[in-house]
Amino acid sequence: MNLSDEFLKNILTSTKTIAMVGLSMNETRPSYFVGRYLHRRGYKIIPINAGHGGKYFFGQLVKSSINEIDEPVDMVDIFRKPEAVPQIIDDSLTKLKGLKTIWMQIGIKHETSAKKARQLGLNVIEDRCPKIEHQRLFGDLRKAGFATNIISSRL
Q: Would you say 70 and 77 are in contact if contact means Cβ atoms under 8 Å apart?
A: no
Topology adopted by domain 5-154: Rossmann fold (3.40.50)
Q: Would you say 49 and 145 are in contact if contact means Cβ atoms under 8 Å apart?
A: no
Q: Would you say 25 and 53 are in contact if contact means Cβ atoms under 8 Å apart?
A: no
Annotated domain spans of the chain: 5-154
Query: pTM of the prediction?
Result: 0.88
Query: What is the distance between the alpha carbons of residues 72 and 18, in angstroms, rounded to a whole number?
Result: 9
- Tens-binned pLDDT, residue by residue, of the chain (155 aa): 679 999 999 999 999 999 999 999 999 999 999 999 999 999 999 999 999 999 998 889 999 999 999 999 999 999 999 999 999 999 999 999 999 999 999 999 999 999 999 999 999 999 999 999 999 999 865 554 444 443 433 34
Q: Would you say 96 and 18 are in contact if contact means Cβ atoms under 8 Å apart?
A: no
Q: Would you say 55 and 82 are in contact if contact means Cβ atoms under 8 Å apart?
A: no
